[in-house]
């Protein structure tokens, strides 16, 4: 993340927080052991047509991608995925709002398997808090058509969008995926994922939606 960052400790790890355009966005590193557990389990699901069909989530999501399926809550709890999300969200909210959450209710967590030419249009999530992270990333997302004149390449990137482009006010934050990186943002944060080219490799992401204490989320409730 290129914007000015603040850091807060989260258990044994660390979470980084940036305010690029009003709402804060947090970044945390998924432990390598957890990345491996998630990938191993997902690879087994992919090979099991019956299981894949049972967990299919594509019909509920907007992505134009090969495959989207949710992870069972008991599995997420057993391997520590839910706990990682909870601790990271707690650190993010504590630092950004100076309030300690007492509730973290995971609504769902799901995997997106994206390949060459596929994309996710601008959309937003449900719940109170959400986020996206990366379990597999191609070695290259491919070059732009104007290879010699383009100074940037959005292929395969996720872009967060909020408000309007104005003087001293950014309207978007562009992020290049890296394995293990996970980004947290408010559920209403609009975002999109660009297609990529020149590779048959998989871009594998994982997302979630959750509720926290309503008295913290609802800034109009009058609770301090």
pLDDT digits 0-9 by tens, 181-206: 999 999 999 999 999 998 999 999 99
Percent of the chain with pLDDT over 90: 70
* pLDDT for 15: 80
Is 123 part of any domain?
A: yes
Residue with tokens 């808090």: 129
Is 46 part of any domain?
A: yes
> Residue 37 belongs to a domain with what CATH number?
2.60.120.620
Is 220 part of any domain?
A: no
Is the model more confident about 39 or about 16?
A: 39
Give me the domain span that covers residue 11.
5-214
Question: Distance of CA 213 to CAs 128, 164, 169, 217, Å?
Answer: 9, 29, 30, 6
What mean pLDDT do residues 7-23 have? 64
Question: Distance of CA 126 to CAs 61, 97, 107, 195, 209, Å?
Answer: 11, 20, 9, 24, 6
* pLDDT for 211: 98
Beta bridge partners of 28: 15, 182
Is 223 part of any domain?
A: no
End-to-end CA distance of the chain: 31
- What pairing do the DSSP bridges indicate for beta strands 5-10 and 158-161? unpaired
Is 189 part of any domain?
A: yes
- Count structural domains, the chain: 1
* pLDDT for 166: 85
Average pLDDT, whole number, for the chain? 89
A 10 A CB-CB count for 156 gives 23
Tokens of residue 142, six digits = 């491919």
Closest CA to 181 of 25, 61, 67: 25
* pLDDT for 161: 94
Is 221 part of any domain?
A: no
Whether the model clears a pTM of 0.75, i.e. scores above it, the answer is: yes
**pLDDT tens track for 125-175:** 999 999 999 999 999 999 888 766 667 889 999 999 998 888 877 889 999
Is 219 part of any domain?
A: no
Confidence of residue 2 (pLDDT cuts 50, 70, 90): very low
* pLDDT for 205: 98
Is 101 part of any domain?
A: yes
């Amino acid at each position: 993340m290129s914007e000015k960052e603040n850091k807060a400790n989260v258990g044994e790890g660390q979470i980084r927080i940036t305010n690029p355009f009003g709402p804060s966005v947090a970044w945390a590193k998924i432990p390598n052991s957890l990345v491996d557990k998630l990938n191993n389990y997902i690879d087994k699901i992919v090979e099991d047509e019956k299981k894949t069909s049972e967990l299919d989530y594509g019909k509920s999501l907007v992505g134009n991608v090969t495959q989207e399926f949710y992870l069972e809550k008991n599995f997420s709890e057993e391997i520590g995925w839910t706990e990682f999300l909870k601790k990271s969200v707690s650190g993010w909210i504590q630092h950004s709002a100076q309030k300690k959450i007492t509730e973290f209710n995971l609504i769902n967590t799901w995997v997106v398997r994206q390949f060459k030419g596929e994309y996710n249009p601008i959309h937003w999530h449900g719940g109170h808090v959400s986020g996206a992270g990366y379990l597999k990333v191609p070695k290259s997302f491919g070059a732009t058509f104007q290879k010699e004149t383009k100074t940037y390449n959005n292929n395969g990137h996720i872009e967060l969008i909020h408000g309007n482009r104005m003087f001293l006010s950014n309207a978007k934050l562009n992020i290049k995926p890296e394995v293990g990186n996970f980004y947290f943002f408010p559920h209403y944060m609009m975002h999109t994922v660009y297609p990529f080219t020149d590779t048959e490799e998989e871009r594998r992401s994982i997302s979630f939606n959750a509720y926290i204490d309503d008295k913290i989320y609802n800034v109009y409730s009058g609770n301090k």
